[in-house]
Amino acid sequence: MNEADRRLLRQSRVRLVGELQVAALWDALLNRELFTPDMIEDIQRAGSGSRRDQARQLITDLETRGSQALPLFISCLEDTGQETLASLLRTSRQAAKQDPEDPSRPSQGKLAPVVLGPEELWPAKLRPEVLRPEAPRPVDIGSGGFSEICAQDRAKGNADLAYVLNADPCGHCLIINNVNFCHESGLRTRTGSSIDCERMQQRFHLLHFMVDVKCNLAAKQMVQALVELARRDHSALDCCVVVILSHGCQASHLQFPGAVYGMDGYPVSVERIVNIFNGTGCPSLGGKPKLFFIQACGGEQKDQGFEVASTSPEDRTPDSDPEPDATPFQEGPVTVDQPDAVSSLPTPSDILVSYSTFPGFVSWRDTKSGSWYIETLDSIFEQWAHCEDLQTLLLRVANAVSVKGVYKQIPGCFNFLRKKLFFKT
């Protein structure tokens, strides 16, 4: 869907959610192949399953159903007697075409998605480089003083300040590593991801987690594996970790941005992944930290950064061969399923989602040494997890990744933890 149609849907969202008669639309949406039966079922289950929740989810998913999604949806409205809404969208769409936005006008912070070809995504020149393993690691960003160490020790032992991770093992860690994708998906093999997987498997084993690795899962299999993990009894455990290594894309969202692809080319939104572990879906993890680490692109934009003091020559390795874990915000048959955003998060506490890159931007992976984010995450955890809390560790990761390469990348997180988290080392 182009940006103009997407903007129109968002502008009309309140009225559509308020008036849309979704029950009459299902057959029309299927007949015009806007959605598959499975997608319709997912929309019908959205939120509480009320008409408003279903309408809200339908409008959210419609945005990424291809370049003809809006005119086809208008036709569905006409077929089901919802002429008032059809006329509203049709008239507004025609008006927008007659008076398009001036390209020279400021975009008010919105970036239109650009579909890039392989030559543009992976240029032969100007390749970003990954930090060599022998290069010096980032310097300590803390003061390192005695008072700081004492404060950390006090926080670890105080249940009001830090989560208690006394169980051994601490909890489950599920790693989903998607390397090979079906030909129809149009997605490249993620060479080097197995290195990331091995790093995370060893790291979380050392942090006293029970690690389970699943490779090359289709979208439905990813959801099934996550649901099975959420349904386990975590009563005797103190934490839960999910690591996802895959291609990713932009996605409409209400809470957590982005989506990750199954090997079949169908995306699963980060929102849906997180919501599987909410208080309703996973009550035995209530009040316990649930951590998600996402190595995938947030979009197709490549950040060339801004000029600062000289970059260390160690940051440039001619022999490295990095690739983006990106796929554009696509319009057309490749993206045949859409992110499944849940309309609300009943218990938004005790959740942290760590992204390898800023929403909308490429996340770089070296084919020989793995992704920048996972390589750095593993190294930082190895050096500092024994004495620093998770938030401080992730600041170190962001700082270290931000200085890599010709193109730039900076990890970040959505943090809804209530306390500090110190891993069991």
Give how far Cα 50 sits from Cα of 82, 167, 271, Å.
19, 40, 19
For the question of residue 239 being annotated catalytic, the response is no
> Rounded to an integer, what distance in angstroms lies between the CA atom of residue 66 and that of residue 71?
11
> Rounded to an integer, what distance in angstroms lies between the CA atom of residue 267 and that of residue 250?
10
Q: Which long-range contacts (CB under 8 A, 24 or more apart) does 276-283 make?
A: 276/223, 276/226, 276/227, 276/230, 277/226, 277/230, 277/240, 277/242, 277/351, 278/345, 278/346, 278/347, 278/348, 279/346, 279/347, 280/346, 280/347, 281/227, 281/230, 281/231, 282/230, 282/231, 282/234, 282/240
Q: Which of 240, 282, 297, 413 is catalytic?
A: 297
Phi-psi region of 89 (alpha: psi -120 to 50; beta: other; left: phi over 0): alpha
> Rounded to an integer, what distance in angstroms lies between the CA atom of residue 47 and that of residue 345?
9
Neighbour tally for 91: CB within 10 Å? 10
Token pair in block for residue 274: 């997180």
Location of structure tokens 């159903």: 65
Q: Which of 172, 208, 234, 247 is catalytic?
A: 247
> Rounded to an integer, what distance in angstroms lies between the CA atom of residue 246 and that of residue 179?
7
For the question of residue 249 being annotated catalytic, the response is no
Q: Are 245 and 196 in contact (CB under 8 A)?
A: yes
> Rounded to an integer, what distance in angstroms lies between the CA atom of residue 122 and that of residue 128?
10
Active-site amino acid positions: 247, 297
